[in-house]
Structure 1
Amino acid sequence: MVEQSDHAPLLDWEEVPSGEPPTLAPRQRDESEAGPANCRSGGSTAPGAGWTASTGGPVPVPGVGGGEATTCAGNMVEWCLPPDVNLEGVEFKSMASGSHRIANDFIYFRKGCFFGLACFANMPVESELERGARMKSVGILTPSYTLLYRYMHFLENQVRHQLQCPGQYSPLEAFYEDKKAVLPLGGNGLVTTCPTSTSTAPPHGRCCMNPEMKVGFIRFFGEQIMVLWKFALLRKRIVIFSPPPVGVVCYRVYCCCCLANISLPRMEVSVPEFRPFFYINVADIAALETEMSYVACTTEKIFEEKKELYDVYVDNQNVKTHRESLQPMLRLNSADREKYRKLTEQRQMLLYSQEVDGDCSSSEEDLFILFFMELNNRIFQTLSEVASSVDPTLTAEHVRAMGLDPQGDQGFLVDLLELYGIDAMLVIDNPCCH
């Protein structure tokens, strides 16, 4: 048994500059940019390792005539605590491809059975050796991502400090000593994910990933959120592509996981765990090949060609699938539009109460999570009751009571029954087409 306190290890990394120095702009957050917040699962989130990484900086190599030459080595971990932690590949996970074009960002990712949060910053410098730009990230690894947001401000401050005073690690060392925890050895421990398929936590007993950022998931995807919901409930492999900054896209990964929340206390099903991978790059391809169900985001367009790795590909707001059996689910039906109408209506009422009454007891994210949890609970409660009845036949009336379309959602329901092992028979007459 591993004992863990609320302590954390640190890392520090850099990325190789591209030669085009960016303008160092103050970080701005709009209502669509968010770090996943308020997920519903427990588990320790004590950081277990920390580092700083940089983009290559110069590395000494043997020179001609006894001197020394330098070459850029790509992203590299330049400092970490504890020193013996396995950080292979973390220098690329903690800096999204294309980050050299932006001034700052944050990024969630998975490293084996741990989760990481890194803050990236990019500063112009008058140095030919660094090709006009200095880029660094500072991050931490933990067994769970649910409370990583607590260290966001510290990491943001420290990456700026590392840009201005490279190599001064005493604040990171002090942080590590204060927050360090013992990580399980071997890398084969369980990953604490959030949300879980049978979470029973109340809306305000949730975990967070960056509560100061506003939710823009509903407004960003619009009606397509109903398409994503079906794929999430069916535990499909979902890859979300977007150029940097990647922090807001990590938030969309989290929201996709929330679409599949179920909180029926006695529901025991054997389905693949719907796990967030957050940011991925080409170094993650081997790991993804063995995953049956996940949600991830990337800034690398090459993933669109790797169709064996995913079922659903999301390019900004465009949701698509190359799997013929799933393509009918891309089409919205009347029940989908009605559910989306109710969701947006509730959102407008919430925004009105916040603006007029100053009522901030509930957030848009609370509303979003609760809406889909109640929808999922209603569906599975109905399916469970039908399956345990004398006549386990799903009729059109049952389907409508679940908020689904008897014709448009037939394929979705058949897949749902099969995936969750629910012993019920779907009998719905298809009307003749004229």
Structure 2
Amino acid sequence: MQRFRCRFRLNSLRFWLGMILAIISQALKGASVVAPSSNCYVLDNSSRIVDFTSWIGQPFEYDSVDSDLAVRFCKDVESRSQMGYVDFGRFDKFNLFVAGSGQVDFVQGFYNGDLNKCEQSYDKLGRTAQVNIICGTCPNGRCKVGVGCICNVTYESTCRVLVELAIPCEKPGPRVFKGFTVGFHPRTWEIVYDGMTQVGFEKSHQEFSFGTDQTNVALYMTAIASLSTLVRKPIVKTFPDNGLEVKISGSGASAKPPTTLSPSVLVVDWRCEKARDTPYEVNITIPVEGYEPIQFMLTKMCEFTQSQDGDATRGWTIFGVISCIFIILSTLFCCGGFIYKTRVERQRGIDALPGMTILAACLETVSRAGQGYTRAEDINSAFASEASWERPPVSAQGTRKQSERKYGAI
């Protein structure tokens, strides 16, 4: 009975330890800072993400004697009147938000508005608008409750308007390492942009997996030079933890400070030790002092083991070596035969022209053997040249010697 109780307790302990490890594993997988699902977000002055995706299209109206203006959050700004409306621009998806200063927390830009009498303004962008966002209530006490309101509208000119908008801002998210990028080339950022993991590398996606034949991948990392010394050595974890051998090397593996002018390279070498229907997950974490760690996931397919692929590569290598030895021996044989043939013909007083013909034939044979595989374009061109042969006139055929007849002639 006592032995049964000990076994029960041991099994229970194993169960709970397994559950705790699973929870920790899932928490580590979801620790990456993922880019928001829209462009309606901003990094505040402390580099924390403030996501306004749920606010997209939210309308705000300002009705006064001088102006009747409407703002659709992250959409557009327009002025309304009995004659219709005038477009003051649409939300700039490329500049996104920027952090403000003083009592203004964030600033949104709206460009490419109506061109009427504004064709030459602001680099020929037409009417434009700037929305200054205040987190909380209006300083002038215009509105204090609700989802927010426009505090004030100021027309800098006929073609530009400034809008003060007070709203209850979203809670700031994690602090990201602004300016940090990871890509497959020195000037790209497919994996990480501005310290945030891009869609496709935030979790396992089979459509983003690397093929079995790709034995390594090079990742280029850049950062703002003044902050590059904060980057630490990357940590690699594989799931499942056996079946795929992963090694990292390069300047990125030794925590060399990456900069935009001199990116550091992280080379990931992986070898399939066990075939698997689903891809392996390689979780790479790059710690950054004072910021959330950079974390992204690479997926690797293993349809066959790397040893099988290595055997095939070894076979082709042996074949290549044997072919090279054969070519060298053939060359030496032809040259030796030509020298011997020339000496014999000189001793007998015979013209050495047949020897030259033999040498030319040998060299042509060896050169063809050394060319390896023939490209498809060469095969097509050769086929076209053979197909374009023309038969000689009948009268010319009768005067030809039997030894001069070409292949294909009748």
By relative contact order (CA 8 Å, sep 6+), the higher-ranking structure is 1
TM-score range, shorter chain: under 0.3
TM-score, with structure 1 as normaliser: 0.21
Pick the structure with more helix per residue: 1
Structure number with bigger Rg: 2
TM-score after normalising by structure 2: 0.21
